[in-house]
Amino acid sequence: MNSLTTSAFDLPEHLAAKGDEALVGDDDRHFAAITASLERQIAELTERLVQARRRPGGKGQAAMDRDLEVHRLTDRLRTLSRFGLDLCLGRMVHADSPDGPDGPDGPDGPDGPVYIGRLGLLDQAGRRLLLDWRSPAAEPFFGATHANPMGLASRRRYRWTLGRITDYWEEVFSTDGTGEAGTLEGHAALDDQSAFIASLGSSRSPRMRDVLGTIQADQDAIIRAGSRGALVVDGGPGTGKTVVALHRAAYLLYADPRLRQRRRGGVLVVGPHQPYLVYTADVLPSLGEEGVQTCTLRDLVPESASVPGAVDGAEEPAALVERLKASARWVEAIDTAVRFYQEPPTVTVTITTPWSDVRLTADDWAQAFDVAQVGTPHNEARDQVLEELLTILEEKFANVLVGDPDGDGYEEIPPEQLRAALLRDRGFRGAFARAWPLLDAPDIVADLWSVPAYLRRCAPWLSREEVGALRRADSRAWTNADLPLLDLARQRLGDPRSARRRRQQASAAAAERERMSHVVDSLLAAEDDYEGAATMLVGQDMRDALVDADAFTRTDPDLLAGPFAHIVVDEAQELTDVQWQMLLARCPSRSFTIVGDRAQARHGFTETWRERLARVGFDEVRLASLSINYRTPQEVMAQAEPVIRAALPDANVPTSIRASGLPVTRAAVSDLESILIDWLDGRSEGTACVIGTADFQPSERVRALPRVQVLTPTLAKGLEFDLVILVDPETFGVGITGAVDRYVAMTRATRHLVLLSPSDLPV
């Protein structure tokens, strides 16, 4: 867009009056300045990025600083290029600004309208063009209401379509109608909900649409809450819980230095399933946050790839087994199982060396095992124990002299030769491997399900009948219920390959030092008088400095291993006690945003949030509630509310604030294809979802239709669609689980809900 000659406003004919120069002229002039600044900054960032990439990588901290600079410049450039002018969300006029009713005499008011952006932006002279939406000064733009205008005279929000403004809304907070508000009367809507309500009727897309410009006051207050402890965001369908969770992640990364300074492990977002991650994938990047890790609970466990079912996974066939495996007490069981392999030998082991035999007694083993630091994973502590054993053996050889008494006499055994001999000795290596073995998480958990005596020892609270119920013929036929236990075991054991990698890296570094030593010796031999730069190479420290030790220690980090400074959990009402342990192990600070609805818990949720979270290990819990349903039309909620109240009379059902004008439709299952085709006919945007049980198999033609998904109630959770079709909802189940699945499925609709029954039943 030509920043000097083309208006940013492209209003439809029926809104032409809102494009009057008196109303939008100041905005266009400000947008011209924004455009010029964006063009300049993009050019500068592009050049700086080119220069940073050309700069030599260097070593150690220098290499890390260069990589961080490239990453920072890339993120900023990507965000500026992603949006352009629509970085601007809107503007606000303070009551004491020159344009406000109390100006120009207000002593503290800003000079004119303040424009709010996804990012902060300055012009070349340092004048503020956009105020970052996360800054404290921007809070009134989201939080002001008529009851509490927070010092504002007016607020304007823009609707952007393909880089142009196709509508805007002016909210006037002053009561006397002075200032610009007076000129807007009759042209712009003055309802403080108009911007948001108008956006609710827009068509959905396969990705969550951008809603930053219409964040409401109740949502913004939660987004800006501090990060200390656990904040629970409780709300029913359509209250914007997911919006709050994701925007809160972006806000905390901006406002909390503790999160921003973490080079890795800042914020983790945990969603309920893969369709949710796909649906929300654009939200954080659109807020300028490219580096946030997002995953499902299954993604935290490598063994999940072997669990049948690409998304849902295998469920336990017996409800008793599923309930038993959900307990948080498996933390104790796994810890006991690992300690079983950390009991020092009680027998003496004789080690053979070229010089003499030496004995490792029970006391020696106990002394070595005691050095393993508390909290160190088992496989990583192995090196600590081995080092102590070698030290003990060195002390035993301290008084052993070797040599030729008829020649130069005796001398002490060189320590490096002794260590090399010990590590070569099969007897020593075998004894140590048996005493402190390398362990894999699958081995630990599989043994629990295949060896009853071992399970009773590790989990003494289980009855004999419960131990029998947990036993299975194929102990490695993993189910979803096994995944948290595998994760706990992995956390307790550490990587069994880490010690091997460290030894290989140390060996490679030693070989490189030896090679460089030969190179240095050759250089020195070429200098007869040891003068010149080569004389600097005589010292061993300088020789060692020539070896890049980092080159032998770089491994690809497990980005989901943590620890994280803050974790966001969506649909948290579904987590079992042992699944909470997976997340607590990755966030020692207990800093969480927990988003959920107790009425949407498929297996019931009889406790309060505080009771539930205190039981699993949280010590500081705050509660925030969302009660307004912005998404689901009143027509749909009128049908959905009785469904959930029949099972949960005290369910926190939110109040829907809008109507779609489309009543809930009932039809036969055989009508599914024609309903979808009629809906798609002449419709270029919007999404539909067919929700049925896992047994429902639609026709190939239905599966091939554009903008139509087929999901189970579980996989539809957290998503939204213009049209939702439920296939025989009575088959979703009975009791609380069935009622929750029907309630969740019905409330995915933002416009129209269709309920299909078998064709042989009345509709």
**CA atoms of 607 and 270, how far apart (whole Å):** 22
SS3 state of residue 360: strand
Q: Is 235 annotated as a binding residue?
A: yes
The reply to whether 178 sits in an annotated binding site is no
Q: Are 373 and 488 in contact (CB under 8 A)?
A: no
CA distances from 47 to 52, 119, 289, 702 (A): 9, 20, 22, 50
Rounded CA-CA distance 154/660 in Å is: 29
Closest CA to 265 of 253, 279, 248: 253
Residues in the chain: 763
**Cβ-proximal residues to 748 (8 Å cutoff; 6+ apart), any chain:** 689, 691, 716, 719, 720, 721, 724
Who's near 566: CB < 8 A, 6+ residues apart? Answer: 227, 249, 252, 256, 259, 266, 267, 268, 587, 589, 591, 592, 593
Do the annotations mark residue 151 as ligand-binding? Answer: no
Look at strands 621-626 and 230-235 and give their pairing. Answer: parallel
Would the annotation count 186 as a binding residue? Answer: no
242 annotated as ligand-binding = yes
CB 205 within 8 A of CB 687: yes
Q: In Å, how far are 141, 401, 405, 415, 759 from 409, measured between CA atoms?
A: 88, 9, 5, 19, 103
Q: At what angle do helices 609-616 and 577-584 cross, to 10 degrees?
A: 60
Q: How far apart are CA 728 and CA 690, in angstroms?
A: 11
237 in a known ligand binding site: yes
393 burial (CB, 10 Å; 0-12 / 13-18 / 19+) is buried
Task: Classify 177 in phi/psi space as left (phi over 0), alpha (psi -120 to 50) or beta.
Answer: left
Is 682 annotated to bind a ligand? Reply is no
Say if residue 104 is preceded by a cis peptide, omega within 30 of 0: yes
CA angle, 315 then 317 then 318, to 5°: 120
DSSP string, 78-112: HHHHHHGGGGEEEEEEETTSTTSTTTTS-SS--SS
Considering only CA atoms, give the Rg of the chain: 33
Cα–Cα nearest to 90, from 184, 24, 158: 158
For 337, half-sphere exposure in the C-beta direction (CA atoms, 13 angstrom radius) is: 32
SS3 690: strand
Q: What are residue 90's phi and psi, to 5 degrees?
A: 170, -165
List, as one string, the DSSP characters of 109-135.
Answer: --SS-EEEESS-EE-TTS-EEEEETTS
Query: Using omega within 30 degrees of 0 as the cis cutoff, is the peptide bond preceding 107 cis?
Result: no
661 annotated as ligand-binding? no
- For 72-88, give one letter per residue: b (16+ CB within 10 A) or e: ebeebbebbeebbbbbb
Nearest to 156 by CA among 249, 290, 27: 27
Bridge-based pairing state of the strands 409-412 and 401-404: antiparallel
Which positions make up the binding site?
Answer: 235-242
Which positions make up the binding site for ATP?
Answer: 235-242
